[in-house]
Amino acid sequence: MIFENSLAFARQLDAQDTLSHYQNEFSFPQVNGKKVIYFTGNSLGLQPKRTKAYVDEIMNDWANLAVEGHFYAEKPWWDYQERFANPLSKIVGAKPSEVTVMNTLTVNLHLLMVSFYRPTAKRFKIICEEKAFPSDQYMFQSQVHFHGFKAEEAIVEIKRRDGEHNIRTEDVIAKINEVGDELALVLIGGVNYYTGQVFDMRSITAAGHKVGAYVGWDLAHAAGNVALELHDWNVDFAAWCSYKYMNSGPGNASGCFVHEKHHNNPDLPRFAGWWGHNKERRFKMEPTFDPVQGADGWQVSNLPVLSLAPYLASVEMFDEIGMDALVAKRDKITAYLEFILLEIDKEVSSTFEIITPANPAERACQLSVFLHGEGRSLFDYLMKNGVIVDWREPNVIRLAPVPLYCSFEDMYDFGQILKKGILGK
């Protein structure tokens, strides 16, 4: 499609957009009396309006039923998490038995590493990407120290080539082959939080398995954003937060995937708790752990249903839309944003450098942009004028045009505000 940098053209794209009415499903902050242009769904998604009814339902059941709400609420609390199995499995490309919800992201990655990071004197190394999200870096360091290894020896980072912003798939695979039979685990962010690069998860998973390692994925920036096929890709495990692209609320519950090939492996250790125990016998308070079949068997504690309620509201919205429709709009609106940025760059004689891959197959709902010659004052201008963006030092802004609630007109308006912010200095 040939794009145009005009309000009329942006409105034409919105008129053709079958998802445009979902904007009305969300609550937007306001700046200067106007709805903001919201580009930070890669940090915290907007609140779906339907969320309140889901939370109120639990509050009412708690008030009217108290402890009996576990069994007699309209959505009984004791099996509340089971309502996620079907919609979440479609979002991440899994079987319903392979997904569950519990805890928060880094907690779940630690718990999954109990099962899938089992180092020996020879096979003890972990491969991750250079400049992984700090929480993952801290997790790796603490895990290898816990097992008696030194981080500088056990953690192998895949680095970018000099002068390049993104990591090449062939470099990941080459490093996997180089580490070879010393490699215990590959654990990478499916979408790099800083650049927005989408990794070739299928090829990397196959390469890790070929040398005998487990392969897991941190899908914080991928779940609800990227078309995933975790079961078919033969991924061992994965975890993701729910509050970015899936709009479940700040710090909310995490999702987990464990491939069915591991469900009946008695030699695979895990940290157990009573909510992972045989559902039919859970309240018999038996002394020996008998795990629930499937990913639910990795649960530890009873679940915070007040936190799960907003997440359930969101995944049911995803289920009615479908990932195919979301990905189609994502690609189109991201391409339009890219076009707008390049057009404004010409008009202001500045130098914007988009460090997210140009290939649509290697990116999703994020463009990270170096604003060469610009500083924090431009970010402040955007924020004061109703454009909510994310700033990363030294001078990068991350823009996430989330297809559920961003419009093509938003992209055009952003370009005009950006131009004024640069020329007005």
Condensed to tens digits (0 to 9), the pLDDT of residues 205-246 reads: 999 999 999 999 999 999 999 999 999 999 999 999 999 999
- Other C-beta atoms closer than 10 Å to the C-beta of 324 total 8
Rounded CA gap, 305 and 58, in Å? 8
Using alpha carbons, list the distances in angstroms from residue 345 to 40, 352, 393, 422, 423. Answer: 22, 6, 20, 10, 11
SS3 15: helix
Contacts by residues 368-375 (CB-CB < 8 Å, ≥ 24 positions apart): 368/194, 368/195, 368/196, 368/392, 368/396, 368/397, 368/398, 368/399, 369/341, 369/396, 369/397, 369/398, 369/399, 370/395, 370/396, 371/395, 371/396, 371/397, 374/350, 374/422
Rounded CA gap, 117 and 126, in Å? 8
Cα dihedral 151/152/153/155 (nearest 10): 60
Per-residue pLDDT tens digits for 236-265: 999 999 999 999 999 999 999 999 999 999
Inter-residue contact 176 to 204 (CB < 8 Å): yes
Per-residue pLDDT tens digits for 372-394: 878 788 999 999 999 999 998 88
Q: Model pTM?
A: 0.95
Q: Which of 34, 185, 58, 45 is nearest to 123 (CA)?
A: 185
Cα–Cα–Cα angle for 359, 172, 90, rounded to 5 degrees: 60
- Superfamily for the 7-35+323-423 domain: Aspartate Aminotransferase, domain 1 (3.90.1150.10)
Rounded CA gap, 373 and 388, in Å? 21
Q: Hunting for tokens 């979002």 — which residue is that?
A: 91
pLDDT at 425: 58
Residue by residue, pLDDT tens for the chain (425 residues) are 899 999 999 999 999 999 999 999 999 999 999 999 999 999 999 999 999 999 999 999 999 999 999 999 999 999 999 999 999 999 999 999 999 999 999 999 999 999 999 999 999 999 999 988 889 999 999 999 999 999 999 999 999 999 999 999 999 999 999 999 999 999 999 999 999 999 999 999 999 999 999 999 999 999 999 999 999 999 999 999 999 999 999 999 999 999 999 999 988 999 999 889 988 888 888 899 889 999 999 999 999 999 999 999 999 999 999 999 999 999 999 999 999 999 999 998 767 899 999 999 999 999 999 988 787 889 999 999 999 999 988 889 999 999 999 999 999 999 999 999 998 85
53-321 matches 7-35+323-423 in CATH topology = no
Query: Which residues is 392 bridged to in the sheet?
Result: 396
Q: Which of 218, 150, 207 is nearest to 183 (CA)?
A: 207
Write down the CATH number for the domain with range 53-321: 3.40.640.10
SS3 108: helix
Joined together, the tokens standing for residue 28 give 């937007």
pLDDT at 381: 94
Domain ranges of the chain: 7-35+323-423, 53-321
Cα dihedral 108/111/115/116 (nearest 10): 50
Query: Strands, E, within 195-272: which ranges?
Result: 214-218, 237-241, 254-258
SS3 253: coil
